[in-house]
Structure 1
Amino acid sequence: MTFSDDLIKLKQNRSAQEPLPSGIAPYTCSAFFKSREYGMKPKARRWDHLLSKESHNLKPSPLKTASRASGQKKLISLGTARPAPEYFPWESLSLRCLQDTVTEQAQPAPTVSMASVKLEQPYDLGVAMNYGFSGGSPQALRFVTEHIEIIHKPPYDDWECSLTCGTTSAIEIAFRIFCNPGDTILTENYPYSGAMTCAHAQSLHILGIEMDDLGLHPDDLDHKLRTWDYTKGPKPSVLYMVPTGQNPTSTTQNLIRRKQIYAIAERHDLYILEDDPYYFLQLGKSKQALASAQLDRTDANEEFFKCLSPSYLSLDVSGRVLRMDTTSKILAPGLRCGWVTGSSQVIQKLVSYYEIGVLCPSGPSQVMLYKLLDETWGHDGLFNWLRSLSLQYRCRRDNLLESCERFLPSDFCEWNIPAEGMFLWIKVNISGYRQTHTASHGDGNVARYLAVEDRIYQKAHDNGVLVSKGSWFIADVQTLKGVNFRLTFAAAPVGELDEALQRFARALETEVR
């Protein structure tokens, strides 16, 4: 089925749906918005045996449960301590949204406004600024559910979505759902540093799995699980990965690799946390790969759709994947909004954690998402945006690569062309490094790598350019096998990339040559 076919089917499905739940903090669920074919697929497995002790003990909030919509059409609430909307000091929120393409000449779309007038509208500011349902508003959750069904088509029946306060929040809660203090989680050998921080804060151990040019290596994953030493604690049951445009290495797992890893997860009963913030930042496998792409091509969205890698969620026949998406890399990180998709059992646990923690994603942020994605762009417009955003980041990547080719010493620096994401992973060969610069304390190659890395980093900083040390990301510093740096082409102005690479190159020449 093509992307266009999915959009037609979506419109038909919407026209047959009941009106959205209304009022303040109405209970809502992805099941309200799925296509009619659901109910014909197998159910997800139960994961009670993998839940943490804390998660087993966590029960839904009785106040939140009682406040959910009942069968009565008009229920006068004397039970829920929500402030009266008429006393909120905001009368209206006015939004001006960009058109659904990213260009230097982007023109603002007509102003989209919403007003708070004593609940005269089903989703005015009186609703948005009040306490909300922890899984998200019906308006935002409907769009997200449709998006997941269009892009990923989960192959089991009882999947659900929930809005989140961003992926880092979702990671922290996912670890609490599945891990007890002292447990070990599996990650890439160079995992996202925020996930490591979450794990360490919960007294979790991290076991890094070897990586190659396609990301996490299945042979090493299987070996570490088959030879697990139970004196170190329970066998790991959680695998955390960034499979597309991996942070920090920018590797992307192909379909064969994903199927191999999923099969290992089935064999060893692993639960997969699929963190995929760079999924839609498609840059092409070479500097010329997307040169012929035009923003106004009628079939451009179809081609972009075909370029997307099959997600773990799309391969998940047993409901063992929790997929995490975010608006941070495709819209704006200040929204602090994202969404997760998994089996109903796991999503309900996550919502229960939200009820005793952050409560719900920001109301104004959800309004902004709804007005932009649903009322202004629609699913086709979002794809226009994602496609044109990818083209803009491709230009930035190509500029950075050209600067690397001009200024970085090729005799001891190497890198691959990132096809997705925001990063360039620079490997520095220090075999000819002058030993007199190495720190006098410490032992073995690890101390040497760290000393050289720090000298390059400090010299680059003195030269006026900030880069990220590779050792900041490694799961276990004692497994460090070289000197690496992560560069991003997303933040600095394009016109300053040349100068940034020259400054970094001078640091390398000074410290390594």
Structure 2
Amino acid sequence: MAPPSALEVFPETDTSTFTVPDRLTIQGIAKRRAASGKLIAGAAAPADIASFKGLNHHIHKSKAKRWEPRMTEEAKSRGGSSLKNAAKFLKTPGLISLGGGLPSADYFPVEEMGFVVPRMPLQGTNKVSTGDSEVDGRPANSTTQITAGKHDMAAGTSAFDIATAFQYGQGHGSAQLLRWLVEHTELIHDPPYADWSCTMTVGNTSAFEMLMRMFAQRGEWILTEEYTFPAMVESAAPMGIKVAAVKMDEGGLLAESLDEVLSNWDETVRGGPKPFVLYTVPTGQNPTGSTQTLERRRAIYAIAQKHDILILEDEPYYFLQMQPYIAGEVTDSQPQSHQDFLTSLVPSYLSLDTEGRVVRLDSFSKVIAPGVRVGWITAPEHICERYHVHSDLSTQSPSGVSQLMLFKLLEETWGHEGYLDWLLHIRREYTARRNVLLLACEEFLPKEVVTWTPPMAGMFMWLKVDWKAHPRFHDGVTLLEVEDELFHRNMAAGTLLMKGSWFVGEKGKGSGAEEMFFRATYAAASFEGIREAVKRFGVAVRELFGLKQEDFGKER
């Protein structure tokens, strides 16, 4: 992901040339900010996203494919909020507004808001986390107190304050935070077409639901992995949208299976037209923990081009990519610099998208906190415009309280560099947690019945259980009966793992009818809790399958 070593020069006219700019860097963001001047954005302010990207940085790139013909009538007919459209007049000098329905900030019962965050880069955290509550000997000066006042903008002490953030906002979110998100997206992914844009969401689940209303009608199908995020299926079902499964292996969705499903689509048998939307979680996939390689992503993108598919790239776990796990060893070969970290990441679909056929869903849920309910999509401008018009008349915008907190943290305290430090930190923490789970599986699980592939990202591991080894398999016991019995035996032992059948995308289809899985997570329990939970699961498996119980001695 390093910038090009030499500048390319392309013809602009018969008599002139232009130079392709270097890829955006953290230093380049600072220069762009200095050149653009101070950002002034009051209540419900519109956002000039093109200026956030840099006016001349993308002129050499081609424009995105147009998706309006594929949009639903609902999406195409939305006219937006007439009241919010009037917000552009609030910048008129000397204007006294009696038009807007904005309550007076004088009556917001919050004068100041404060919180404490880690200071980047983290100091005194060389020890591997235990997952418990102690601070690991971190020095007292490793935190920063952040304070936001009601009228900081008027006082000239901040570009965002309580009086503005707590007001009604535009569907695309506040200009102050949106600028940071646009810069982050360009810094990490550098979308290779010109007219990409970003708009905020209230999280990826909401974003998916709204995108389905934009691109799928009742009775139509979408494509996804054969095991997938249940909330996606459960969101689509009430809208009458059906899910077609694409086979997977340990590396995630299979390009050849995607091609096969699309090439052999029979509208009469399926009862609906050939789908043109693919929903995928490419990195640390929920539930399987699989991560698609760059080669796999390129192959899938090529299939999407062949069949004119729109890819919904759901990536809450993208920055939780890890070093390979070596059985029996705990390595600490983590990236030591921002550039090493960025280079280590598998390139996103967005970074491969030359045609504007990817809608990337990003979220702070797994890297900051789920409760902030702030995310964003990156897509062609015309898709983002339709999305935030929808937001104006539904979710309105993400919580202003959350946006203010994130702005104070990401913009004014950490900056882009500090955020990368934080991502490096949680990558190390989740890697340590993954390794504890894998070591426990090697120690406590009967490998003749339970097998797994070490995850390369995210917070989940997919445990395959050979249900055909069950003593009553030849007497006609079913997969779902064995799964349910093991689930309840494990619960009785004091451990919860999720049934694999809950994650089947196309019910009754694919390998879900032949293979049995359980999903484990290493996200939250203490290290000792992870070990004990795996030990209890091993006991439950041995009991159910009539295997000899092992004597593991006293707990460590």
TM-score interval, normalised by the smaller of the two chains: over 0.9
- Map of 1:503 onto structure 2: 536
8 Å contact kept, 2:119–2:144: no
Q: How many Å separate the matches in 2 of 1:111 and 1:201?
A: 45
**Could you tell me which of 9, 20, 39 is aligned with 2:59?**
39
One-letter code aligned to 2:232 = A
2:163 to 122, 126, 132: 126
Q: How many angstroms apart in 1 are the aligned matches of 2:275 and 2:499?
A: 28
Aligned residue among 92, 110, 135 for 2:112: 92
Aligned to 1:305: 342
Please point out which of 174, 177, 180 is paired with 2:214: 177
SS across alignment from 1:96: strand
Alignment of 1:118-157 (within 5 A): 120-121=154-155, 122-157=159-194
Partner Cα distance (2:236, 2:71) in 1: 16
Structure 1 pair 420/314, CA: closer, same or farther in 2 (3 Å)?
Answer: same
Structure-1 residue corresponding to 2:334:
293
Structure 2 CA distance for aligned equivalents of residues 244 and 139 of structure 1: 29
Query: Equivalent residue for 1:24?
Result: 43
Match of 1:464 in 2: 494
2: CA distance between counterparts of 1:393 and 1:65?
44
Letter in 1 for 2:500: G
Return the letter of the residue paired with 1:291. D
Q: What is the Cα deviation at residue 15 of structure 1?
A: 0.7
CA distance in 2: counterparts of 1:338 and 1:221, whole angstroms: 28
Counterpart-to-counterpart distance in 1, 2:473 and 2:196 = 59
Residue 73 of structure 1 and its aligned partner are, at CA, apart by: 3.1
Please say if 1:355 is aligned against 2:386: no
Distance (Å, rounded) in 2 between the aligned partners of 1:173 and 1:439: 44
What letter corresponds to residue 132 of structure 1 in structure 2? G
| Local SS of the residue matching 1:113 | strand
Q: 1:171 to 1:290 in 2, by over 3 A?
A: farther
Shift of 1:78: 1.9
Counterpart contact for 1:101–1:389, Cα < 8 Å: no
Give yes or no for the alignment of 1:216 onto 2:249: no
Aligned match of 1:6: 25
Counterpart contact for 1:27–1:69, Cα < 8 Å: no
Shift of 1:395: 0.7
Asked whether 1:512 is paired with 2:545, we answer yes
1:333-344 aligned at under 5 Å gives the runs 333-344=370-381
One-letter code aligned to 2:538: A
183-192 or 107-116: bigger deviation: 107-116
Describe the SS at the equivalent of 2:197: strand
CA contact (8 A) 1:240 1:272 kept: yes
Question: What is the deviation of 1:119?
Answer: 5.6
Q: Is the Cα–Cα contact under 8 Å of residues 55 and 176 in structure 1 kept in the other structure?
A: yes
Say if 2:312 is the partner of 1:273.
yes
Residues in 2 aligned to 1:31 and 1:120: alpha-carbon distance in whole angstroms: 26
Question: Contact 1:459 / 1:507 at 8 angstroms: preserved in 2?
Answer: yes
Q: Cα distance 1:123–1:391, how it changes in 2: closer, same or farther (>3 A)? A: same
Verify the 8 A CA contact 1:248 1:486 in the aligned structure 2: yes
Change (3 A) 1:77 1:406: same
Please list every run of 5 or more consecutive structure 1 residues that lacks an aligned counterpart in the other structure: 441-447
Alpha-carbon spacing, 1:5–1:351, altered in 2? closer, same or farther (3 Å): closer
Runs (4+) off by over 6 Å: 436-440
| Kept in 2: contact 1:181–1:203 (CA 8 A) | yes
Aligned position for 1:55: 75
Q: Secondary structure at the match of 2:520?
A: strand
Q: Identify the match of residue 299 of structure 2 among 239, 251, 260.
A: 260
**Deviation string, structure 1 residues 83-108 (Cα, Å, up to 9, x no partner):** 01111111111122212356434454
Separation (CA, whole Å) in 1 of partners of 2:67 and 2:517: 39
Listed as ranges, the matches of 1:323-334 within 5 Å are 323-334=360-371
Aligned amino acid, residue 98 of structure 2: L
Percent identical residues:
39
State the TM-score, normalized to the length of structure 2: 0.87
User: Is the contact between residue 282 and residue 313 of structure 2 (CA under 8 Å) also seen in structure 1?
Assistant: yes
CA RMSD of aligned residues (A): 1.9
Q: What is the SS of the residue equivalent to 1:39?
A: coil
> Is 1:421 aligned with 2:450?
no
Letter in 2 for 1:490: A
TM-aligned CA distance change 1:310 to 1:292, over 3 Å: closer
Residue 234 of structure 1 pairs with residue 273 of structure 2: yes
Q: Would the aligned equivalents of 1:439 and 1:451 in 2 still touch at CA under 8 Å?
A: no
Question: Given the alignment of the two structures, is residue 476 of structure 1 paired with residue 506 of structure 2, yes or no?
Answer: yes
Equivalence for 1:449: 479
Superposition map of 1:364-383 within 5 A? 364-383=401-420
Preserved contact between residue 76 and residue 386 of structure 2 (Cα < 8 Å):
no
Check the 8 A contact 1:336/1:361 in 2, yes or no: yes
Residue of structure 2 equivalent to 1:444: none
- In 2, the alpha carbon distance for the partners of 1:204 and 1:218 equals 23
2:515 alignment partner AA: G
Q: Secondary structure at the match of 2:311?
A: strand
CA distance in 2, matches of 1:101, 1:483: 43
* Aligned counterparts of 1:289 and 1:175: Cα–Cα separation in 2: 42
From the superposition, tell whether residues 465 and 29 of structure 1 become closer, same or farther in structure 2 (CA, over 3 Å). Answer: farther
5+ long unaligned stretches in structure 2: 4-22, 126-135, 547-556
AA aligned opposite 1:213: E
- Amino acid of the residue matched to residue 285 of structure 2? Q
Structure 2 distance, partners of 1:279, 1:28, is 27
8 Å contact kept, 1:86–1:118: no
- State the alpha-carbon separation in 2 of the partners of residues 393 and 312 from structure 1: 23
